[in-house]
Amino acid sequence: MLFATETINKTPVERLVKLWSKRYTPDVSTLLFQNSNFVWNELVETVSLEGRTKTIFKLERLLEIHCKCAGIQTNALFSYIPNIMNLWESQRIAELAGQVYRKALDVYQQQSPSPDWFAKMPTMGTANFSTYTKWWWTIPGLELSALKQLTKAVDGSYKELRSQYLSAKDSRAIGFMSTQFHFSSRLLTNRLTVSEQLLLNPYFKFLEEQVCIPWQRVCAAAAKYDLNSPALTIVEQLLPISTEIAKTVHHQAVQLNPNHRSLRGKLDNPEVKASSIRDIEMFQGYLWLCVLEGNMTAVEKELLPLCRIVFPAVNVTWELVEQLLPLLVSEIKARVKPEQMKLVLPYTQAMQQLFSQPSRKGND
C-alpha cells in the first residue's frame, strides 16, 4: 500500500505524492467565465464544518438514486459491447460506488479549515473574481493529509470494485467503472451550489481517477530511485502539468478532427472534452509508470486492451487514438531537455508501436 510507513517515508515517493495531491486543488478558473459576481460569504459558510455537514446531508439523500441512475446511463452507453456486464454486476458496482462516495464525504467533513483561516478572510458580501484573486488561492482543496486519509479510506472499496471487474473477466469493465464514477459525479455536481462544487470537485476528480489513472502506482514506483535520478526528475517535472498537456493535445485533436463524433458527441462537446482530457492524462500516467518501472508491461497488459475494446465500442476511431500519441509526444518533447527526451523516447516509441495495428495485436 502506498502509504505504508516503510514506503511513504522514502523521500522520492513523498515528493511525488505531494505533486500528485496538487492535482486536487479547487479549480477557480471556472469563475473567470462567470460574468456575475460571486457571493464570498456563501463560500466561507460552505467551507465551515456546519456548511460541510449541510452539504453532506444533502448528498447522502441523493447518493443511492444518482449512483443507480449513473449505472443506467453507463449500461446504455456500453450496451454496444456484448456481455460486458450482467445486471447483478452493474448493480453491485453502483452500490460500491455509493460506498466510495460516502467514505469520501466522511473525509471531506473532517477537512474544515482552522479558525485562523476564517479569521484572515475578508468580510465582504459579493466579490468579483478579478478583484480578490489572492483569496481564491487559499480555498482548501484535497490537501496532502486529506489525500492520504482518503486513499486509505477508499482502498477496501476499490479492491472490491476491482474484484467485480475481474469476476467479469473483461478489462472493458474498467472503462465501465470509470464511466460509472464520471456520470455519478456529474449528477451529484448538478445538485451542488457553486461553492460546494469548488470544494467537492477535487474529491470527485480523485475518485474517478483512482479507477483508471495509475498515479498512486507512479508514486510508489519512485521508491527505488535516488533523489537526483534522471527518470524521477522527468516525472516530477511533467506530472504537475499533465492536465495542461492534455488540454493542449485535445485542442490540437479538435482542430485536426472537427467532424469526429463519438456516441456522446463531437470532440468539443463539454462532456466529451472532459472525458478526452482524462483519457490523455491516463496515457501520461501509464507512460510515467512504464518509465519508472523500466518496462512496457502496464501499457501492454492494461492500457492497450482497455483502449482497443472500449474506444471503438463508443465510436472513437482508432485513427484518432493513433493520432493522439504523436501529439502527446510532441508536447512532452517541447517541455523537456533533449537529453531527457532520449530517456523517454524508447517508451514513447514502444507505446506508439503497441497502439499501431490493433486488430493484429489483439490476435497475438
User: Is-contact 324 283, C-beta < 8 A?
Assistant: yes
For residue 121, give the C-alpha cell. 478572510
For position 184, what pLDDT does the model report?
Answer: 94
For position 3, what pLDDT does the model report?
Answer: 52
Higher pLDDT, 33 or 94: 94
Higher pLDDT, 4 or 308: 308
For position 213, what pLDDT does the model report?
Answer: 92
Q: What DSSP element (H or E) covers 31?
A: none
For position 125, what pLDDT does the model report?
Answer: 58
Q: Which amino acid does the sequence have at 119?
A: A
Q: Alpha carbon of 303 to those of 2, 116, 347: distances in Å?
A: 21, 45, 14
For position 305, what pLDDT does the model report?
Answer: 84
To the nearest whole percent, how much of the chain has pLDDT over 70? 82
* Of the candidate ranges 13-22, 24-33, 109-118, the one whose mean pLDDT is the lowest: 24-33
User: Is-contact 24 205, C-beta < 8 A?
Assistant: yes
Q: What are the φ/ψ torsions at residue 265 (nearest 5 degrees)?
A: 130, -170
The length of the chain is 364
For residue 364, give the C-alpha cell. 497475438
For position 130, what pLDDT does the model report?
Answer: 57
> How far, in Å, CA of 28 to CA of 20, rounded?
18
Torsion of Cα atoms, 331 then 305 then 171 then 300, to 10°: -80
Q: What are the φ/ψ torsions at residue 262 (nearest 5 degrees)?
A: -95, -175
pLDDT band at 9 (very low <50, low <70, confident <90, very high): low
pLDDT band at 362 (very low <50, low <70, confident <90, very high): very low
Q: What are the φ/ψ torsions at residue 127 (nearest 5 degrees)?
A: -125, 140
The SS3 of residue 266 is strand
pLDDT band at 35 (very low <50, low <70, confident <90, very high): very low
Higher pLDDT, 138 or 353: 353
Strand partners, 299: none
For position 315, what pLDDT does the model report?
Answer: 81
User: Is-contact 23 150, C-beta < 8 A?
Assistant: no
Q: Which residue has the cell 452539504?
A: 55
User: Is-contact 331 246, C-beta < 8 A?
Assistant: no
pLDDT band at 172 (very low <50, low <70, confident <90, very high): low
Q: Alpha carbon of 8 to those of 3, 14, 80, 141, 345: distances in Å?
A: 5, 6, 43, 21, 29
**pLDDT of 166 higher than 70:** no
Q: Which amino acid does the sequence have at 228?
A: N
Count other Cβ atoms within 10 Å, centred on residue 271. 12
Mean of pLDDT over the chain: 84
Q: Which amino acid does the sequence have at 105?
A: L
pLDDT (tens digit, 9 = 90+) per residue, 238-273? 999 999 999 999 999 999 999 888 878 899 998 889
For position 162, what pLDDT does the model report?
Answer: 75
Higher pLDDT, 37 or 339: 339
**pLDDT of 65 higher than 80:** yes
* Of the candidate ranges 106-110, 140-144, 318-322, the one whose mean pLDDT is the lowest: 140-144
pLDDT band at 186 (very low <50, low <70, confident <90, very high): very high
For position 204, what pLDDT does the model report?
Answer: 95
Torsion of Cα atoms, 29 then 34 then 37 then 43, to 10°: -50
For position 346, what pLDDT does the model report?
Answer: 97
CATH-assigned architecture of domain 214-364: Orthogonal Bundle (1.10)
Q: What DSSP element (H or E) covers 305?
A: helix 304-313
Nearest residue to 92 via CA among 163, 196, 150, 34: 163
For position 336, what pLDDT does the model report?
Answer: 95
Q: What DSSP element (H or E) covers 17?
A: helix 11-21
pLDDT band at 221 (very low <50, low <70, confident <90, very high): very high
Which part of the chain has CATH 1.10.490.20? Answer: 214-364
DSSP 8-state class, residue 137: T
**pLDDT of 57 higher than 90:** yes
The SS3 of residue 258 is coil
pLDDT (tens digit, 9 = 90+) per residue, 295-328? 999 999 889 988 887 787 678 889 999 999 999 9
